[in-house]
Amino acid sequence: MCGIVGILGQGPVAGQIVDSLKRLEYRGYDSAGVATLEGGLLTRRRAQGKLKNLAARLAEEPLAGSIGIGHTRWATHGKPTEVNAHPHASDGVAVVHNGIIENFRELRAELIARGVAFTTETDTEVVAHLVGEQLQYGKTPKEAVAAMLPRLRGAFALAFLFEGEEDLLIGARQGAPLAVGYGEGEMYLGSDALALAPFTNLITYLEDGDWVALTRESAEFYDAQNRLANRARVRTEASAFLVDRGNHRHFMSKEIHEQPEVVGRTIAHYLDMSAGRVSLPFELPVDPAALDRVTIVACGTAYLAGLCAKYWIERFARLPVEIDVASEFRYRETPMRPNGLTIVISQSGETADTLASMRYAKGEGQKTLAVVNVTTSTIARECDVVAPTLAGPEIGVASTKAFTCQLAALAAVAIALGRARGALTAEVEARLVSELIAIPGLMAEAIKGEAAVAQIAHQLSRSSDVLYLGRGVSYPMALEGALKLKEISYIHAEGYPAGELKHGPIALIDEKMPVIVLSPSDQWLEKTVSNVQEVAARGGRIILIGDARAAAEADVHLEKFIQMPDMAADFAPLVYAVPIQMLAYHTAVAMGKDVDQPRNLAKSVTVE
Ligand code: M6R
């Protein structure tokens, strides 16, 4: 994950910036850079590889200047070269950037048509040119940034430094975190509080859509409509702990909000963004064309990520998928063919049943691919190929960001299998890839609905039973919604395939039980809508999570409607995960439960 640092200091800042970037090294990166103002002029030093290379460059050619920005880059668009390293500069502005500018291709084409020459392969460079243009038109730096921001789509954080502006840094946040730190006559910007811990523990976190203009003595916050905004200062514990909760009350809340960023990062890890195709960061351990099936094994939420992947692999790769929970699979003595593919999924990489299942599959001669978040774990060490999720440490016992990152990695694997088996045309792959690239922005959009979801959760907290329904790939999401809710609120919840309603659970429907229906505009919409009508006909309390079309087609009284952004439905689970996580979270908070450490549960289940 990229890291951002900005300092308005009293003395030379380049060294301080590098020191503070070191605190972000745990996020992973492959190049780094710093820009400062020397005599009002922008100067930059960048280096491929680790920060020690940048420090060596700075030792050879030091940078003076008491204002600057720095960055550790984790390559998404373009190779990890010095040229592609941030900061990027154009016409009096330098910028560093975390996340993905989704519409960079069209912006790049538009700029090229206006005669702009690009020097890098990055998406970030479009930002530098767009702001540079505005400066050329005579706008002030603040006006230039305000005019440029609405042009960008995606989930990102940005920091800007301007030629001739010795007392101004501008930061902006949309879907990726950014914090302001307050010092004595100094001011800081950082992509997390940890970067700023050596300087200050007084922090303001930008809210989504915010941008901020910093001088050494002031911080002016603006919201997405460019209105001045009040944002609270909080004391952070970042200096004492490697991970802190930021301005969130619980780790689970922080982890829900981190998803646009970490999912964006995971997606980028599996795609060649510029070419618009999947590019797995490893060799598959089998010949996909020779496979007659794939086996998936996992536990809990990781199992449900696998169940979503079953839909994707069967559809995109025309390959049957057998899936089971690891505690069953390990003792089933299922016959397996040598050189087949078993995918295990685990956040911790230490789950005893998943590990035992993987060992069983290996014993049967299967090749194993492990989707894991902790890449130093036992499962990661023992599998044939690691497919990492780049969620960062997940502290809340209820899995959120690890789940959506698992979905992201599995979606890419499904597409890669489809291509390798000749089941997907290049055209369809390109469409699916652009749908994946749009996901972080859509997740950020879904997070904006939190206040409304919290209100619904307040009512949900008075229920004793909840039924979740979904069809197709929304069925595993119904299971996940129910699992999340029961884990942290202790409300009894069940997930069902909507089509199974008539085969039993419809008997439960009464005016007391909330029925939460997941209904993206997918190929199952019409059928899901029929099930909604069946619930309505029996006086059921319907909470619909869907887009405007789903609500219109349902055409019944909805007790509540959680409106989701319009989107292509292939990867809807990644976006629909957000409201179901927020529903569970706010229900548990309303009930005063221990959200991060629910009773009886452990983060890593290393026993049977
Ligand atoms: O570390 P793992 O992904 O292997 O853990 C599997 C399950 O224990 C885990 O997903 C559990 O269901 C979570 N608490 C769900 O939120």
Residue closest via CA to ligand 1's atom 7 equals: 300
* Full domain range(s) for residue 194: 3-240
Distance 564 CA to ligand 1 centre (A): 26
**Mean pLDDT, the chain, whole residue set:** 92
CATH number, domain of 426, equals 3.40.50.10490
For residue 607, pLDDT over 70 is answered with no
CATH number, domain of 10, equals 3.60.20.10
52 and 185 share one domain: yes
197 and 228 share one domain: yes
407 and 264 share one domain: yes
Active site residues: 2, 603
- Asked if 197 and 236 count as a contact pair (C-beta separation under 8 A), the reply is yes
What span, in angstroms and rounded, lies between the C-alpha atoms of 558 and 560? Answer: 5
352 and 500 share one domain: no
401 and 461 share one domain: no
231 and 123 share one domain: yes
* pLDDT tens sequence across 236-261: 755 534 556 778 999 999 999 999 99
* pLDDT tens sequence across 291-333: 999 999 999 999 999 999 999 999 999 999 999 999 999 999 9
For residue 201, pLDDT over 90 is answered with no
My answer on whether omega of the bond before 87 falls inside 30° of 0, hence cis, is yes
212 and 325 share one domain: no
Q: Domain boundary at 386, 417, 447, which?
A: 447
191 and 65 share one domain: yes
251 and 158 share one domain: no
Q: Would you call 234 exposed, middle or buried from its count of C-beta atoms within 10 A (0-12, 13-18, 19+)?
A: middle
Q: Cβ of 355: how many Cβ atoms within 10 Å?
A: 23
Q: Domain boundary at 447, 468, 500, which?
A: 447
For residue 529, pLDDT over 60 is answered with yes
* Ligand 1 atom at shortest distance from the alpha carbon of 351: 4
pLDDT of residue 422: 97
Pocket (CB within 6 angstroms of ligand 1): 299-302, 346-348, 351, 354, 397-399, 487, 601, 604-605
Mean pLDDT on 11-32: 85
Q: Domain boundary at 240, 262, 284, which?
A: 240
Ligand 1 binding pocket mutation candidate from 297, 301, 379, 383 (most atoms within 8 A of CB): 301
**Which two tokens mark 210?**
């915010």
The DSSP letter of residue 406 is: H
Question: Which residues have a Cβ under 8 Å from the Cβ of 36 and sit 6 or more positions away?
Answer: 12, 13, 14, 42, 43, 63, 64, 65, 66, 67, 68, 161
479 and 402 share one domain: no
Mean pLDDT on 106-114: 95
395 and 461 share one domain: no
- Asked if 343 and 389 count as a contact pair (C-beta separation under 8 A), the reply is no
